[in-house]
Amino acid sequence: MHYKDSRFWLYVTHEDHEFQSNIINKEYENEWIKVSNDGNIIIKGSRVLANDKGGYAWDGCSPKFAFLDLVIGTPDGVIDKNTEKPKTYFASMVHDALYQFGHQADIKRLNIDRLFLVMLKDFKLRYLYYISVRLLGVFFFKKRKKLTE
């Protein structure tokens, strides 16, 4: 687990990950994410700072919190045999990054949540997770918008 500003990050990617989405005609780039007009999204993990070799960090499917040595909250699913990552790993990475920076790219929350559902294609609880982000995501999305303004 990685800690920063009293929050913990369950995952940190140390390489760039590229995804093709149906979110088109939006363009945005910062040190963590690149959104291209053609729907291509890159989550940047190869970023290296002087004192930090970390890349993009997130907590998987929310909500989660650390208590003693336990992570309590929404499960990220079993390990996928092909990726060797939890089944929600990539979907939660993209979803968290877009919730965090989607305002700057003028991407609607509905489009971000729909992409999350599409990316959860092999996850048996995908519709439950999608309904959860549709119902509860508004609180996180509005909070992120205020923080980035």
R_g over Cα of the chain: 15
* Residue 136: per-residue pLDDT: 85
Q: How confident is the chain (149 residues) per 10-residue block, as mean pLDDT? A: 54 91 94 94 75 75 81 89 94 95 92 97 94 85 55
Number of helical H runs and strand E runs in the chain: 3, 10
* Cis amide prior to 63 (ω within 30 degrees): yes
pLDDT score, position 47: 63
Where in the sequence is the domain holding 133, given as residue range(s)?
A: 2-148
Residue entry with tokens 């790219």: 105
Neighbours of 124 (CB within 10 A): 10
Whole-number pLDDT of residue 123: 94
pLDDT at 53: 58
Report how many domains make up the chain.
1
Residue type, 67: F
Q: Which helix (H) or strand (E) holds 73?
A: strand 70-73
pLDDT tens digits, one per residue of 54-89: 688 898 998 877 788 787 888 899 999 999 999 999
Alpha carbon 71 to chain centroid, angstroms: 18
| DSSP state letter for 16 | -
User: pLDDT value at position 113?
Assistant: 96
Query: Mean pLDDT of all residues in the chain?
Result: 85
What pLDDT sits at residue 142?
62
Q: Which of 101, 123, 127 is nearest to 114 (CA)?
A: 127
Q: What is the pLDDT of residue 107?
A: 94
